[in-house]
Amino acid sequence: MNLITNHMPTAELQRLDAAHHLHPFSHGHALNAKGARVITRAKGVTLTDSDGNEYLDGMAGLWCVNIGYGREELAEAAARQMKELPYYNTFFQTTHAPVIALAERIANLTPYDLNHIFFASSGSEANDTNIRLVRTYWEAKGKPSKRAIISRKNAYHGSSMGSASLGGMAAMHAQGGMPIPDIHHIDQPYWYGEGGDTDPEEFGKVRARQLEQKILELGADNVAAFIGEPIQGAGGVIIPPASYWPEIQRICDEHDILLIADEVICGFGRTGQWFGSQTLDIRPQIMTVAKGLSSGYQPIGGSIVNDEVADVLNSVEFSHGYTYSGHPVACAVALENLRILDEEGIVTRAGAETAPYLAEKWATLADHPLVGEAVTCGMLASLALTPHKASRAKFAAEKGTAGLICRDRCFANNLVMRHVGDRMVVSPPLIITKAEIDTLVERAWTAFDETQARLEHEGLMKAAG
Ligand SMILES: *Cc1c(COP(=O)(O)O)cnc(C)c1O
């Protein structure tokens, strides 16, 4: 057997990766020709690759390493749990201490009466649970016709058949026969990109009222739920106008539609409070969580429901569950993660000190000639690249061309920033310091200079007609 270790030459690791590993969301041949970047270790907000280069991880992995890398307490919690009880299921009338403790901890952290959690191993699984859960809820209430779920274009809710159907990513729907039936999509509250000359607050209401139109079109008796991310993450960190969520809330309440807040990114401190629903003043009956719940140290997610939903669901046998629902090691690690986020004041400090600092520094990037808007909410930030600031113009080149060049220039400047089309986004570990934010913004500015030079050189600074 071959031992594959970090000490192997980069080229050899890349060759083996290309030979046997299929990457998510990648064009395999193009990636394999180039060779994947090999990450070997990480500490705090810093990643190290197999050639010894260090990067400031502006993305906290995939929006998940809220606590930062290298917390030994989490490794120890995992080791302890593995020695005591590495696995047992929660089917067949059994339970165990880590799952009980975590469920109670989450119930204490969540707002309102969101006191009950159904565990999964990812956000995708949790949203698949939600599809079955809301339909089972309405059946148990004697309203089996309430089956449709309304979501939004450019939403991201996961990559399984159910969750990707809830999502509104056109490229995903184009492969594999999605969306599944009875899922409907309305337009997103993206004022910068789609608002034209409308006042942003007016635009927020207009987009929210599409939900009401869709409910009336389908008949409220046929609609089970609306799902939305408080702030769209993978769609480009799109912060809705303040008018949007109150209007969505009113419509859900008036038409007796369950409101699901997908908190997979927004949860566990990302928006400066424990949950995005608190920051955006949303009162959901159901929340989806994953990512920051364990800071990515273990795969775990879940559907959190309020007292009434739990009570109705508990009146029937819900024929649903995963082998790893409430996995003891994942629960033990998540519990330790939440303890540290809370006791070290990481969420509180991110909200009170770091997020305002990020907002101030991020805003300076709007002065760059290539940047059309620069916005933040808590520890989420995004900006739009544009060939023409004043008109908020899009590039004439294929969407994502400028974004991809910019992403690569960020890497070349030792910064991990993600591009979503021609928006650049960051979601750093919550423990990032002010000095590290300065570094992030300095490197971003340099990367934007280099991107602009490249775009000009290639004649790509042209606005779409
Ligand atoms: C990442 C994400 C998911 C999917 O989570 P996985 O753990 O990748 O399955 C769902 N919803 C939102 C909002 C996400 O950002």
Atom of ligand 1 nearest to the CA of 160: 9
- Establish if 105 belongs to a structural domain: yes
Q: What is the pLDDT of residue 253?
A: 98
Are both 305 and 444 inside the same structural domain? Answer: no
- Looking at residue 405, which CATH number applies to its domain? 3.90.1150.10
Q: Report yes or no: 299 and 121 within 8 Å, Cβ to Cβ.
A: yes
Atom of ligand 1 nearest to the CA of 229: 13
Are both 95 and 238 inside the same structural domain? Answer: yes
CA–centroid distance, 158 to ligand 1, in Å, is 5
**What integer best gives the mean pLDDT of the chain?**
97
Are both 352 and 380 inside the same structural domain? Answer: yes
Q: What is the pLDDT of residue 246?
A: 98
Average pLDDT over residues 144-164: 98
Average pLDDT over residues 82-96: 97
- Establish if 17 belongs to a structural domain: no
Q: Output the ligand 1 site: residues, CB below 6 A.
A: 122-124, 127, 156-158, 229, 233-234, 262, 264-265, 290, 301
Q: What is the pLDDT of residue 8?
A: 87
- Establish if 228 belongs to a structural domain: yes
CA–centroid distance, 170 to ligand 1, in Å, is 16
Q: What is the count of structural domains for the chain?
A: 2
CA–centroid distance, 288 to ligand 1, in Å, is 9
- Establish if 5 belongs to a structural domain: no
Confidence band (pLDDT; 50, 70, 90) for 4? low
CA–centroid distance, 264 to ligand 1, in Å, is 6
- % of the chain surpassing 90 pLDDT: 97
Name the token pair of 334. Answer: 């998540």
Are both 353 and 367 inside the same structural domain? Answer: yes
Are both 270 and 138 inside the same structural domain? Answer: yes
Are both 370 and 321 inside the same structural domain? Answer: no
pLDDT digits (tens, 9 = 90+) for 200-209: 999 999 999 9
Atom of ligand 1 nearest to the CA of 124: 9
- Looking at residue 293, which CATH number applies to its domain? 3.40.640.10
Confidence band (pLDDT; 50, 70, 90) for 3? low
pLDDT at 223 exceeding the cut of 80: yes
Question: Whole-model pTM above 0.85?
Answer: yes
Q: What is the pLDDT of residue 208?
A: 98
SS (H, E, C) the chain: CCCCCCCCCHHHHHHHHHHHCCCCCCCHHHHHHHCCCCEEEEEECEEEECCCCEEEECCHHHHCCCCCECCHHHHHHHHHHHHHCCCCCCCCCCCCHHHHHHHHHHHHHCCCCEEEEEEECCHHHHHHHHHHHHHHHHHHCCCCCCCEEEEECCCCCCCCHHHHHHCCCHHHHCCCCCCCCCEEEECCCCHHHHCCCCCHHHHHHHHHHHHHHHHHHHCHHHEEEEEECCCECCCCCECCCCCHHHHHHHHHHHHCCEEEEECCCCCCCCCCCCCHHHHCCCCCCEEEECHHHCCCCCCCEEEEEEHHHHHHHCCCCCCCCCCCCCCHHHHHHHHHHHHHHHHCCHHHHHHHHHHHHHHHHHHHHHHCCCEEEEEEECCEEEEEECCCCCCCCCECCCCCHHHHHHHHHHHHCCEECEEECCEEEECCCCCCCHHHHHHHHHHHHHHHHHHHHHHHHCCCCCECC
Q: Which of 25, 121, 156 to mutate to test the pocket of ligand 1 (most atoms within 8 A of CB)?
A: 156
Average pLDDT over residues 31-46: 96
What domain range is 438 assigned to? 37-70+345-457
Are both 218 and 251 inside the same structural domain? Answer: yes
Are both 53 and 163 inside the same structural domain? Answer: no
Q: Tell me which amino acid residue 135 is.
A: R
Q: Where are the beta strands (DSSP E) in 67-182?
A: 114-120, 148-152
Q: Which of 62, 130, 157 to mutate to test the pocket of ligand 1 (most atoms within 8 A of CB)?
A: 157
Average pLDDT over residues 226-252: 98
Are both 150 and 290 inside the same structural domain? Answer: yes
- Establish if 157 belongs to a structural domain: yes
- Establish if 305 belongs to a structural domain: yes
Name the token pair of 410. Answer: 């960020």
Domain termination site, one of 312, 343, 374: 343
Peptide bond into 98 cis (omega under 30): no
Name the token pair of 159. Answer: 């990559």
Atom of ligand 1 nearest to the CA of 159: 9
Atom of ligand 1 nearest to the CA of 234: 15
Atom of ligand 1 nearest to the CA of 158: 4
CA–centroid distance, 94 to ligand 1, in Å, is 28
Confidence band (pLDDT; 50, 70, 90) for 7? confident
Q: Which of 291, 297, 327, 420 to mutate to test the pocket of ligand 1 (most atoms within 8 A of CB)?
A: 291
Domain termination site, one of 321, 343, 365: 343
Q: Which of 62, 65, 265 to mutate to test the pocket of ligand 1 (most atoms within 8 A of CB)?
A: 265
As a whole number of angstroms, the distance between CA 101 and CA 89 comes to 15
Domain termination site, one of 318, 343, 368: 343
Residues 6+ apart with CB under 8 A from 216: none
pLDDT at 431 exceeding the cut of 70: yes
Q: Tell me which amino acid residue 329 is.
A: V
Average pLDDT over residues 54-83: 98
pLDDT digits (tens, 9 = 90+) for 344-377: 999 999 999 999 999 999 999 999 999 999 999 9
- % of the chain surpassing 70 pLDDT: 99
CA–centroid distance, 184 to ligand 1, in Å, is 19
pLDDT at 112 exceeding the cut of 60: yes
Name the token pair of 349. Answer: 């400090």
Q: What is the pLDDT of residue 435?
A: 98
Q: What is the pLDDT of residue 2?
A: 57
Closest residue by CA, ligand 1 atom 5: 123
Give the closest residue to 280 by CA, choosing from 233, 237, 234, 229. Answer: 229
- Establish if 448 belongs to a structural domain: yes
Q: Which of 66, 122, 232, 324 to mutate to test the pocket of ligand 1 (most atoms within 8 A of CB)?
A: 122
CA–centroid distance, 455 to ligand 1, in Å, is 32
Give the closest residue to 271 by CA, choosing from 244, 239, 294. Answer: 239
Query: First vs last Cα of the chain: how many Å apart?
Result: 58
Are both 210 and 108 inside the same structural domain? Answer: yes
As a whole number of angstroms, the distance between CA 464 and CA 444 comes to 25
Are both 300 and 445 inside the same structural domain? Answer: no
As a whole number of angstroms, the distance between CA 222 and CA 300 comes to 32
CA–centroid distance, 358 to ligand 1, in Å, is 24
- Establish if 191 belongs to a structural domain: yes
Are both 327 and 384 inside the same structural domain? Answer: no
pLDDT at 150 exceeding the cut of 80: yes
